[in-house]
Structure 1
Amino acid sequence: MTIGKIAGAGNSTVEQLYQLVDKEPLLGSAYYRLRQTDFDGESTYSKIILLTFYPEAKHYSDLSPNPVAGGKTVLRLGGMQAGTKVRVSLVHMSGKIIRRFEVSANQIGAVEWEMSGLDSLASGVYSVLISTEQFNETLRLIIP
């Protein structure tokens, strides 16, 4: 099934970036690949990737593993609009901000961010403050 076509830039020595949005994605999981066709009619295919789409998904958040294992955990967020700016702060129970970062939700409205190097922090319960234009949330993170 073809979801769209984009005209290429032709012969170029500069990297070209192209973008196409599937305006009618399948619900659940779908596999995608790109086909590039040269002027001589020869085609090559990209590797196949799996994307998951749930348009009615409610907001979700998760830290796993929690307690932290191996000095790292993964923050997963979803149910947002694509491109949503997400500000995250790791805060010690004393109120001191230990780390801060900002990420953007991907095309399906999700974030998956690995927080590493946590084994250098003192053991205890930390707060992970998550803030977007639509919501604010606090998760608890245990560092053993």
Structure 2
Amino acid sequence: MIECIINQNARDAGAAIFPAMNWPILSLCNEYNVGILQIPCPEIRFLGPARKRQPGQSLRDALDTDAGRDCCRKISMDIVNRIEDYTDQGYRILAILGGNPKSPGCAIHCENSKLSPNSGVLMRELQDELRNRRIEIPFKGIRDADPELLARDIAWVREIFSI
């Protein structure tokens, strides 16, 4: 799951929904004894905690550059290496939990089980790396900016965890 689900302080200033962590999702992990592999924040990794970029440049535009995509590709390779390590040890990876629909790095928008171009830069790179290694894992955005959508996402996570 993306870093900001575990730590809302990783979000851009003013974007946090919860005071510290997305407790509804984390409590499901606790309830179903599901471990967490944290996906680092691509914005912080690439731009630093202050998300420094050119004046007038959006976070998405900063990430969607050769250097930004390269950073996201490196994160993706690290995450997929860890996923392979876990599966080699007999663990099952249930899902990739991404972010809100407008997240520049971690948004998830699916079309026929493939991420659309509207998805975040990191999530597209992560799906490419998984597919290059012939690994299929469902992606789900945790849309905590909207209580109704978050309730649907929590229900989806609960269903995946109970399988």
Q: TM-score range with shorter-chain normalisation?
A: under 0.3
Larger Cα Rg: Structure 1 or Structure 2?
1
Normalized per residue, which structure has more strand? 1
Instruction: For CA contacts below 8 A with separation 6 or more, give which structure has more relative contact order.
Output: 2
**Hey, which of these two has a bigger chunk of helix by percent?**
2
TM-score (ref. length: structure 1) = 0.22
